[in-house]
Amino acid sequence: MRKIAVLSSKGGTGKTTTSINLAHGLALMGRSVLLVDSDPQNTIGIVFNVNPEKTLCDLLLKRRTSITKVREKLHIITSGGKQLVDTEVKLTKKFGKEYKLKKNLSHLEGVDYIILDCAPSINLINVNVLTYCDEVIIPIAMDFLSQIGANQILGMIDNISKSYNKNLDILGVLPVYYNEKRKISLETVSILKEFFKEKLFNTYIREDVNLKEAPSFMKTIYEYAPDSMGAQDYFKLAQEVDSR
């Protein structure tokens, strides 16, 4: 079972788009996937149009949750929306607060991949996610500010691996909103290559308006625009992740 967090400290860097379309890509390849939303924005529940009784909040505080089938081979745990913010506050008073997710998911079996979509912050929920996961995907948009966000996440990963989880490793850094016609894309990728070396994915996710439109139709990119660049790129990413 591979446990992968999709994380960056900056907002709007394609984390949720990556989580959803990587998860569905892996499911289409025949892998069994559990997608967990750990962001109070609750986007994953909205996109898959489900509102289960129990959420990540129940898992963290009461050790029980609803796992909902949304597609063939793809199940989700929703975040609980705003309730997750209160849950985080309650969690801070608990003993072993960093290990709740790890402990309460320890019995989980029969899943090839757990993909966790994170909120763009450095909070206790994300500490729980990183304490539980073995691998992290860091999507980076093609601009300078995103590079700063990546550095903050590297610092956080370093801290967590020293304090709570020595198994934690970067699976890959993923260029998103890539546009080969723009100088800033070429420059950013070249800096990322130099800095991250083999940790940079061979797959780049290109800018594609279909990726923006798909969620409002409650579809993944493979359902909304199967021949689009977005569908090609995310399926290629799923194959690259599966082979890494």
Ligand X SMILES: Nc1ncnc2c1ncn2[C@@H]1O[C@H](COP(=O)(O)OP(=O)(O)OP(=O)(O)O)[C@@H](O)[C@H]1O
Contact stretch for Mg ion (CB under 5 A) within 14-22, 63-71, 122-130, 218-226: 14-22
Using rule CB under 6 A, residue 234 touches ligand X: no
Q: Which of 2, 9, 39, 40 binds ligand X (CB under 6 A)?
A: 39
Residues 145-164 that bind ligand X (CB under 6 A): none
Using rule CB under 5 A, residue 16 touches Mg ion: yes
For residues 132 and 105, the answer to whether their CB atoms sit within 8 Å is: yes
Using rule CB under 6 A, residue 165 touches ligand X: no
String of DSSP letters for 124-187: HHHHHHHHH-SEEEEEEESSHHHHHHHHHHHHHHHHHHHHT-TT-EEEEEEEESB-TTSHHHHH
- Chain centre to alpha carbon of residue 173: 12
Give min distance, CB of 62 to ligand X, in A.
26
Angle of helix 124-132 relative to helix 83-92, nearest 10 degrees? 80
Using rule CB under 6 A, residue 55 touches ligand X: no
Give min distance, CB of 120 to Mg ion, in A.
7
Using rule CB under 5 A, residue 15 touches Mg ion: yes
For residues 149 and 123, the answer to whether their CB atoms sit within 8 Å is: no
Q: What is the C-alpha to C-alpha distance for residues 117 and 4, in angstroms, rounded to an integer?
A: 9
Site for ligand X (CB under 6 A): how many residues? 17
Residues 174-213 that bind ligand X (CB under 6 A): 176-177, 205, 207-208, 211-212
Q: Which of 16, 79, 203, 228 binds ligand X (CB under 6 A)?
A: 16
Which among 101, 121, 234 is positioned nearest to 165, based on CA atoms? 101
Binding site for ligand X (CB under 6 A): 11-17, 39, 41, 120, 176-177, 205, 207-208, 211-212
